[in-house]
Amino acid sequence: MAGDVPSTHDTTNETLDRLVGALARVLEDAGEPELAARLPWRGDDEPSPWPESLAEKGLQVTSLAFQLLQAAEEAAAVTRRRQREAAGALADDAGSWDQHLGRLRAAGVEGAAIAEALPRVRVEPVLTAHPTEAKRQSVLRHHRALYRLLVEMENPRFTASERAALEQRLEATVERLWRTGEVYLDKPTVEVERSNVLHYFVRAFPAVLGRVEDRLLAAWARAGFDPALLADVTRRPRLRFGDWVGGDRDGHPFVNATTTRETLALFRAEALRLVDAALEELAADLSLSARRQAAPAALLSAVDARAAALGEAGAAALARNPEEPFRQAVNLMRAGLAANAYAGPEALVAELDGLRGALLEVGAGRLARTDVDAVRRLLLAFGFHLAVVDVRQNSAFHDRAMAQLLAAAGDAEAPRYLEADFAARAALLRRELATPRPFAGPGAELGPEARATVDVHAVLAEALSDHGPGGPGALIVSMTRDVADLLTVYVLAREAGLLARDAEGAAHCPLPVVPLFETIDDLERAPAILRELLAEPIVMRSLRAQAAREGDATPVQQVMVGYSDSAKDGGIVASFWGLYRAQKALQDVAREAGVRVRFFHGRGGTIGRGAGPTHRFLQALPPGTVAGDLRLTEQGETIAQKYANPVTAAHQLELLLAGTVAATLGPPREDPPELVAILEELARTSRAAYRGLVEAEGFLTFFGHATPIDAIEQSRIGSRPARRTGRRTLGDLRAIPWVFAWNQCRATLPGWFGLGSALETLRAADGAAFDAIVRAKAEGTRWAPVHYLVSNAATAVAQASPAVLRSYAALVPDAAAREALLGLILEEHARTEAALAAIYGAPLAEARKPTARLIARRAAALERLHAQQIAWLRRWREARDAGRTGEVDALTPKILLSINAIAAGLGTTG
């Protein structure tokens, strides 16, 4: 029946015509008829290049046109899903509840078994503020209004006059977008970035929780499972949310202990405000009169007891609604919330359970499920903390902090600590963890790294003491190289008073200490590091204490794996397979120690940083590694793309929840030994090809001139610097600007480079092995890891434009380096395209028509943007090199505008 559902192509074109038509009318009314006439996708002929006098406005309007295209494509995707549902074809909707529940049932998994597992499923998107969001917050607000209007305009019942009013509102929204500047004139502060994520935590996510659960319940019924199994809201998968803004300080000079304290306090205040607003609405809804139904005695008793405990506030709550005991009960909850009478959200949930039971007792089950469950759902997701705030710091920063603490204590090891090997450091740290002594007393003079680390750990200890668990999240160690990097955190936590002690005086850390394995080499060492870590007594005590608090039967060690730096380090294939191998091995190590690993996936927004379709990503994870628990980052512009529109947000959360359930309960999957061996070889040969490029003579010079990396480092799209320490090396450059720069010049090589050489070598050496890859990609014989890797690379290759890259390469002054390195890249692109065509059995444009249409729709307009950026880059660099600062200052905003416009056209930055 899926064939009866229209494709998104025609729907996108129809919506795009409406939006670009509205923009044309706005421009004409604003006295810009030439801009209106040259809009993309207007008329049969492609618009001619922008004249110099209109170049800046031309880029602005093209950027806006691309944003309208993205809105049209998103609206079309939403419409298609609705049409599928109406046609009874949601089982064909990739990654949906209907598809996964249907597959589980077909595999013989009973509804009762699924229902038993659902409460143990926990999905936690973690929002970060890595510098990839190129839109100002006011622009994002107008886009949200545009999404809402497009949804309204789908209503077929509106009259002609109502539709005309909607069109006027649409034009007004488009005009706001046109008249609002998009480029940040100043770098956004951490406070601005925090305000952005706060919007999603306070407005976007709470608004879709009900919709997400409705999707599950509807699919459950369509699958033929007993609805009674999911009647209790606490028996459903659990969504939680995490945050890095205000806590992540890895290479970020503007995040300190004060920032983290403010973030925790702000999130708590907003969470309490959110809960109070929900209770206020619940009180208004539960206007049940005692004259219509007698309230159960248990409810009346609870109301009297709570009112007495709250004193005057309790009496006032009772007086507001006499003879309405259900409403009085909720009023008392609000009064208790204001008086900090609840030790935690669990206590409030318990009172809501009592209220729910009372409604059921008087026969008002519908109100219990509709009204009370909405508040319980909110509390289960957000508690009194809104989102857990992780604290991330680099292992090298911790090294310096430890050396400074040793120096403050007058320890003889202090001068030698930074030169000591990891074994010597670990031995010292173990000795320290055997004692409770601090290195320095309160107020002692400490070095900058020691002071910064001790202060933030003290903030976390204070938050735990004042409000209990909830707000403080994980202590993440980026660039984890050895177990000593993790033991250091336990010692630093001891210094700040963050460690707790049991009845016997043994210390444990109440917060997860999390290794982040990022490079290929670190991923290879990860299993040995974890084995050594889990042998530490303080670590196991900590994991058991954390498990007891969370209600987990098995201790859980969180491990973060980095997709961005591993790809920058070894290329996309070596990164993919290194991550896959590491997760399997880490899982085995943990199982031997009686521990479960909670993997935290540090994915970026582009293929070169681990992105890809959510359902395919989950299917391609190693068997058994999900285990009902998924934590992953959502970064930059992907946050708005996935969660700004409520319907899209609900769909994205459905993909995460349904995919996690399927990965947890699906039939056991074994990795075919033949394919494992082939992937090992592909990873090895692709990494060699990739390193051959980045280590080639003149590569950094080529990268610095053939991409706009120097302009990206001037951009105002994030508060974090583009480089960790400011050194002009590839290793110091963050993965985000690395990918961003290659996207801007349309090389997109972080998403594909090395795969072509690896596949060509494999095919020449072992045709049968290549045929095995073809079968692993094909429908019916598909092995998910190969399918995910190949389809992602195919998308990245198709997005590249050799012609555009040649134009950027002309900016490289060294002709020899230019021709040599451009040749390497273009030859590898051709190899990869040919190898992928052999796997698909046809050229990519034919084999993947929807993707080809998406790219083709943008091509002509993007080429004009690239040409303008190249011209401005050439002038800007010449002026910079000649010291003409006035010209540099005048050109910088224009180049930043071109970067934003191209990012809008590609739909991604880094």
* Residues that are catalytic: 130, 568
Structure letter (DSSP) for residue 415: G
Query: If you search the block for the tokens 């998910």, which residue do you land on?
Result: 784
- How far is Cα 480 from Cα 473, in angstroms, rounded to an integer? 18
Among 446, 435, 431, smallest CA distance to 484 is for 431
Is 663:619 a contact under the CB 8 Å cutoff?
A: yes
- What CA dihedral angle connects 516, 520, 524 and 526, to 10 degrees? 0
List Cα–Cα distances, 31 to 62, 68, 169, 456, in angstroms: 17, 21, 20, 55
Phi and psi, residue 554, nearest 5°: -120, 140
Query: If you search the block for the tokens 């009204």, which residue do you land on?
Result: 371
Strands 238-239 and 242-243, by their bridges, are: unpaired
Is 634:74 a contact under the CB 8 Å cutoff?
A: no
Is 494:433 a contact under the CB 8 Å cutoff?
A: yes
What is the C-alpha end-to-end distance of the chain, expressed in Å? 38
Number of neighbouring beta carbons within 10 Å of residue 10: 10
Among 146, 178, 3, 169, smallest CA distance to 75 is for 146
Number of neighbouring beta carbons within 10 Å of residue 466: 11
Q: What is the CA radius of gyration of the chain?
A: 29
Q: Which two tokens stand for residue 622?
A: 């190693």
- DSSP code per residue over 622-678: PTTS-TTEEEEEEETHHHHHHHSSHHHHHHHHHHHHHHHHHHHHSPP-PPPHHHHHH
Is 587:624 a contact under the CB 8 Å cutoff?
A: yes
Among 301, 233, 289, 213, smallest CA distance to 658 is for 213
Residue type, 55: A
Among 341, 337, 343, 350, smallest CA distance to 380 is for 350
- DSSP code per residue over 856-882: HHHHHHHHHHHHHHHHHHHHHHHHHHH
Query: If you search the block for the tokens 């058991």, which residue do you land on?
Result: 544
- How far is Cα 422 from Cα 505, in angstroms, rounded to an integer? 28
For residue 475, the SS3 value is strand
Q: Which residues of 58-69 are buried (b: 16+ CB within 10 A; e: fewer)?
A: bbbbbbbbbbbb
Q: Which two tokens stand for residue 57?
A: 């406005």
Phi and psi, residue 817, nearest 5°: -65, -40
Phi and psi, residue 52, nearest 5°: -55, -40
Phi and psi, residue 311, nearest 5°: 65, -130
Structure letter (DSSP) for residue 751: G
- What percent helix, strand, coil does the chain show, rounded to 5? 65, 5, 25
List Cα–Cα distances, 792 to 267, 372, 614, 620, 787, in angstroms: 36, 43, 12, 12, 8
- DSSP code per residue over 519-569: SHHHHHHHHHHHHHHHT-HHHHHHHHHHHHHHT-SS-EEEEEEESHHHHHH
Query: Residues with Cβ < 8 Å from 772, sequence gap 6 or more?
Result: 674, 675, 678
Is 58:35 a contact under the CB 8 Å cutoff?
A: yes
